[in-house]
Amino acid sequence: MKDNLIIGEFVLFIFGFFFFSIFLPDQEISVSERRKLANLPSFSMSKMMKGDYFSELDQYFSDQFPFRDEFRRAKAYTQFYLFQKLDNEGIFIQDDSVFSSLSTWNQKEIDNFIGKLTEIKERYLTTNKQIYYSIIPDKNAYLENSLYPKFDYSRLVHELNSELDASFQYIDLFSKLSLNDYYRTDIHWRQEKIVDVASYLVEEMNHQYVNKKKKEKTFTPFYGSLYGQAALPIQPDTITYLTNDTLESIQVWNFEKQKMEPVYQPNSKNIDSYDLFLSGPTPLLEIENPNQETGELVIFRDSFASSLTPLIIESYHHITLIDLRYISTNLLENLVDFTNKDILFLYSVPVINQSSILK
């Protein structure tokens, strides 16, 4: 009897999922993992003899496995509740918020970041009087009573302050933020919570902050980048974005797409809903505000600036956003005029600690 049951459950399990795999339709994307899933690979003899076909087939079988999300959830439960692990693949939940992997100090990458800023200054910013830089803390910086090893944020600030020359002026944001200013399921900050950060940044750059009345609009549900990685049942976030007639009238020049786009694109079909802010990841954006006659700012930035920049558009006549993750420093020579503009380097800790992604 026992043998029958053991055989029965095994056979049912492997044959059940074998038939499920064959008969269930393939999925295009995984919403929770925010990525495209592999499709059945095309066959060619040369691909097969190289072994590539079978590798692609493995990926396809794995991606299209029935009830993938449920199995991932079972794994997360096992890791947290049976194995009592403090994180699952570097993801953990505390105070109802999902946190990404533990940041370990990476001296080589931090040196590289300092070198990159210095290189840009020496190549393009020799006549600019004001160069500002600011560090955006990741939300782990605001974890309290936690066993999780913390990144040494004060050491990072100290290192940048001491290694960058005096023309770089530091603007501290650490004291301006709290855990509540970040999405629960994503690494980014929430736009509606960082108006004070925006005004502080602008004023620290000796510019007048203009803040006309804005209304809140929402986008829901927002499955942040950490949502899928956590693989646990968590409530998704809601993106709240601040807008008014001025912001809705402004068009943004997207260098990559070679066309004008609105500041917010809530109907974007991108997998990452955070991309509603300023077209998502893109190398170069130019924003012109005809309602403001003065102020020109160039921001070297990562994705955090996408949600922050709309809050400061009204304060400037012209803003240029450069994301060096997607464009080489060498190309800027012919694309951006830095003359007499304020310069802000605005990078989050994870990017600084992994700065080799900056080209």
Partner 1 sequence: MVFSSITFLFYFLPIVLLCYFVLFKKHKNTVLLIASLFFYFYGEPKYILVLLFSCLINYVSGKLIEKMTKYRTLILVVDLVISFGLLFYFKYFGFLVANLNTVFSLEMVIPNIVMPIGISFFTFQATSYTIDIYKGEVKSAKNFWTFTTYLSLFPQLVAGPIVRYETVQNELKQRKNSKETFAAGVKRFTIGLAKKVLLANVLGELVAILAEGTDASILSYWIEAIAITLQLYFDFSGYSDMAIGLGLLFGFHFLENFNYPLIAKSITDFWRRWHISLSSWFKDYVYIPLGGNRKGIIRQCINILIVWCLTGLWHGASWNFVLWGLYFGVLLIIEKTLLKRVLKLHPHLARIYTFILIVISFVIFHFNDYHELIQFLKGMFGKLTIPLVSQETIYYLRSYGVVLFISLFAISPLGKQLVNSLAQKPRFKRIIDVLEVGYYFVLLFVSVSFLVDDTYNPFLYFRF
Binding site for partner 1 (CB under 8 A): 1-7, 9-11, 13-15, 17-18, 21, 48-51, 54, 57-58, 61-62, 65, 68, 71-76, 78, 82-87, 89, 102, 104-106, 147-149, 231
Residue whose CB is less far from partner 1, 14 or 29: 14
135: helix, strand or coil: strand
**Residues 6 or more apart from 2 whose CB is under 8 A from it?**
none
CB of 193: closest distance to partner 1 in angstroms? 29
Residue whose tokens read 């001025």:
246
CB of 356: closest distance to partner 1 in angstroms? 15
Q: Of the candidates 171, 164, 170, 160, which has an alpha carbon nearest to the alpha carbon of residue 120?
A: 164
136: helix, strand or coil: strand
Distance CA 319, CA 294 (A): 11
CB of 219: closest distance to partner 1 in angstroms? 28
For residue 181, give the DSSP letter.
Answer: G
In contact, 98 and 184? CB cutoff 8 Å? yes
Residue whose CB is less far from partner 1, 87 or 163: 87
What is the distance, to the nearest Å, from the Cα of residue 188 to the centroid of all Cα atoms in its chain? 6
**Helical H runs in 35-173?**
45-50, 52-63, 68-77, 107-124, 153-163
Residue whose CB is less far from partner 1, 148 or 209: 148
Distance CA 29, CA 96 (A): 26
Residue whose CB is less far from partner 1, 61 or 245: 61
Structure tokens at 46: 């040369």
Total Cβ atoms within 10 A of residue 16: 11
Residue whose CB is less far from partner 1, 89 or 275: 89
269: helix, strand or coil: coil
CB of 11: closest distance to partner 1 in angstroms? 8
Distance CA 138, CA 151 (A): 10
- Cis check: omega of the bond before 266, within 30 degrees of 0: no
Residue whose CB is less far from partner 1, 159 or 314: 159
**DSSP states of 302-332 as a string?**
-THHHHHGGGTGGG-SEEEEE-TTTS-GGGH
238: helix, strand or coil: strand
Residue whose CB is less far from partner 1, 50 or 212: 50
CB of 106: closest distance to partner 1 in angstroms? 7
CB of 35: closest distance to partner 1 in angstroms? 13
Residue whose CB is less far from partner 1, 115 or 149: 149
**DSSP states of 287-306 as a string?**
EE-TT--S-EEEEEE-THHH
Residue 105 has phi, psi (to 5 degrees) of -60, 130
CB of 301: closest distance to partner 1 in angstroms? 27
Residue whose CB is less far from partner 1, 62 or 235: 62
CB of 150: closest distance to partner 1 in angstroms? 8
Say how many Å lie between the first and final Cα of the chain, rounded.
65
Residue whose CB is less far from partner 1, 110 or 351: 110
CB of 111: closest distance to partner 1 in angstroms? 14
CB of 224: closest distance to partner 1 in angstroms? 18
